[in-house]
Structure 1
Amino acid sequence: MELYREKLLECTHSLINVCHYSYITSFKPNREEECEDHYEKICNIVFVPQASDEIIEHCYKPMVKNCNNVEPDAEDEICKDMHETECSTRYEKKGDKFVANTECKKIPLTLCGSRSCRFEEGEEECHNKTTASISTVPEESCDLVPQKTCKGVYKLVPFLQPTHQCKDVPREICTFGILSSKLGTAPLD
């Protein structure tokens, strides 16, 4: 009897645990200062004197003596305290129109004449008078002042974080073996 050897492939299956590092993206809050520009208007009002010429219409009614063609007698003369009316009209600009502002007053006056004379108001006399007047006019001046406002805000910042990961991976290990047998006649390689 002869011994025969036969090549035999033998495989075993198993699971092995394989580990590695992987990086995941995480976020963490980060405080930052965020600034914003804006402008503030600051105004001042100053009263400035301003000269202007003003035309005033000046009217008055004089008191006149009316003796009706009678010659006055020196012994017959009397004096009376009277009042003349005097009015002044100023034209003031209101918007785009001129408005009349009239002011009247009584001026005391002493008139003398005969008892037979009467004192009465005469014809109104008017004339224009130009006067310089000073008035205060408001004048506004404004400036824009830059202002910066800052506040703290939180923003998410990404970062990579290593994580340890493991997996079971199937593995096959194969080996050649020799099988001895007593049967048959087979040539050996």
Structure 2
Amino acid sequence: MKRILLGVIGSLLALLSLSKAQDMAVYECVEKVVMSEEIVFDEEVNCRHIYHEECMNSYVTKFKSHQRNECSDQYKKKCMIVYDPVPIKIPYQFCPKKDFCRNLTRLTVKEVPREMCSMSLGKKCEEKPMLLPTIEAEEKCLEVPKEVCAIVQSNPRPVQKPVIKTWCPSLDSNDIRDCGDVLTVVGSVMYQTGIHEFPIGPPESNRTIRMDCDEDGWSVIQSRGQFGNRENYFARPWLAFVNGFGVPGMEFWLGLENMHLITNSKNYSLKITLEDTDGIVDHAIYTEFKISEKDRYALYVNGYTGGLGGDSFSYHSGFSFSAVDRDTDAWPEGNCALRFRGAWWHGACHHGNLNSFNKNTNDTGSFADSIVWRDFRGYRHSLRSAKMAIKVLN
């Protein structure tokens, strides 16, 4: 049950790492500061004054004399005296007898004077002088001074100046075959480590491969490490090693056929990076590396330089690649790949094998059947990680 649980956890970790490893490097346009040659001059400003006429209209109010006929209404009153008959009662006494009288009235007419007037309308006109305003335009012109300056250049000379230019790297060329070519095209500032895709073989084949680009333009063709895989992840038949398997950036084998095509197109060097279980890292570098003889994929390696890791690879130069199901080694007593659990360029059998079981321990309890490098940590120390990377020999 415990083994099954560990296997499930390992598979989940592998899937998460696979998702991360499959992110391809993306190169975007950037602004770069470059030096550009420009011609500069000594400059002197010469100025002088010129005059030009500027005119403008102004408006003036003027008054002109004018005779205006003014008329007014006049009313004339005409009156006359008329007599109106007005009946009035006049009292009187009527005495028919002596000592007997009565007061009576009699009606009579009396003319009462009354004034009667009538109005007649008339006009009285007379001429009066007056001033009428008028607006007249007047143009006024002035001589206005103006300063005119000119820049006079002298003493031309070239100088280097920093300028900002937008630069977009193009990785579409069929000539870009490995990480070193990418570094050459985009430059060290723009270069990105990580997964890149490259054409391989003749252009008409339209084949591509994916490789992990390491620092300084190194193309990783083989890598081992702790990514949750089972310890026998590299225990595979001959055909798998011919075609390649794994995930770039994790445990990965580019494939003998691809290695053959690449290393026979240019002169490559090889860098092997080793890390033990204590985290100590060392390198072994070879100036010449090639996989030849397409049917047997023999190894050619030469020009070892390196650190404390030592040379545990030159011994294998000249031997064909040997797998568990295809024994091409020089050991008369059996199959080295089967005996030491890893396909490799075995002689009789190996001084170092980076394709064997991944045990990640400083004492395997067995001999030479894990990721070992004799001259680094011996045959019983299974290394934590190992990496093989190639780069064109400069």
Normalised TM-score (structure 1): 0.43
- The two structures have a TM-score, normalised by structure 2, of 0.24
Larger proportion of helix: 2
Whichever structure has more strand as a proportion of its residues is 1
